[in-house]
Amino acid sequence: MRARTRATLLAIAACGPAKPTPAPPVPVENVTRTCTEAAVGLEGATKGIRSPEADPIVNPMRALCNQDHWSGEVIECFATMHEGDLGRCSGMLGDDSRKAMFSALGDNDETAIAIARVRLDTMHVGVVECDHLFATVRDLLVCDRIPTASRAQLGKSAADLWDLPKNIPADAKARMAAVCKTTLDEMKRIETEAACAP
């Protein structure tokens, strides 16, 4: 009897307690980022182009994000951006929102150059000479052989001057082509003299 009881107890012990059924995995929800995260991302990724003495931009950028109702896609872009992504992310904003954001970034020469490059990168008027001019000026803005202040002024002037409407009449395009050709020739001369040509 003892042997049978002992064998039964050993058999039960060998089976051990029943293992609990594991809980089903918790579904991962889409994480919606906030305007604060977008502002923090912007501040971190633009440190290289802002003056070290400049005020933090988290509060102004968060306010712009809330005021202009940035989309989830825009917020995600800024929240996860890296240095060099300013053009990609700012290109998702409307013109007024983008201008307000650029204004809030500051006004030192490095910031002016970075902003001009972003603006020139998205600037296309459908006139070959003008679009070629924008690309040439954009390339000149990274040429270290030209003083930073001169590049900042060149970029600002070019971006402001050619901030044109989308639909340009044919006769205006012909006049623009002539002006752009003359300006392009001047930019090419500067590029050659400064030995900036690729």
Q: Which domain holds residue 61?
A: 32-106
Confidence (pLDDT) at 20: 60
Question: Which residues, given as ranges, of the chain have pLDDT below 50?
Answer: 7, 9-13, 28
Residue 100 and residue 65: Cα distance in Å, rounded?
10
* Residue 69, in any domain of the structure: yes
Q: 131 with 102, same domain?
A: no
Q: Where are the alpha helices (DSSP H) in 106-143?
A: 109-121, 128-140
What pTM was computed for the model? 0.63
Handedness of CA 136, 142, 144, 147 (dihedral sign): positive
* Residue 14, in any domain of the structure: no
Q: 36 with 98, same domain?
A: yes
pLDDT digits (tens, 9 = 90+) for 1-31: 555 555 454 444 455 555 566 666 655 455 6
Q: 94 with 144, same domain?
A: no
Q: 101 with 132, same domain?
A: no
Confidence (pLDDT) at 10: 46
Q: Which of 74, 106, 138 is the last residue of a domain?
A: 106
Confidence (pLDDT) at 120: 79
Cα dihedral 96, 101, 102, 104, rounded to 10, equals 130
Under a CB-based contact definition with an 8 Å cutoff, are residues 144 and 194 in contact? no
pLDDT digits (tens, 9 = 90+) for 52-71: 777 788 888 999 999 999 99
Q: 196 with 127, same domain?
A: yes
Confidence (pLDDT) at 23: 61
Confidence (pLDDT) at 68: 92
Confidence (pLDDT) at 25: 60
Structural domain count, the chain: 2
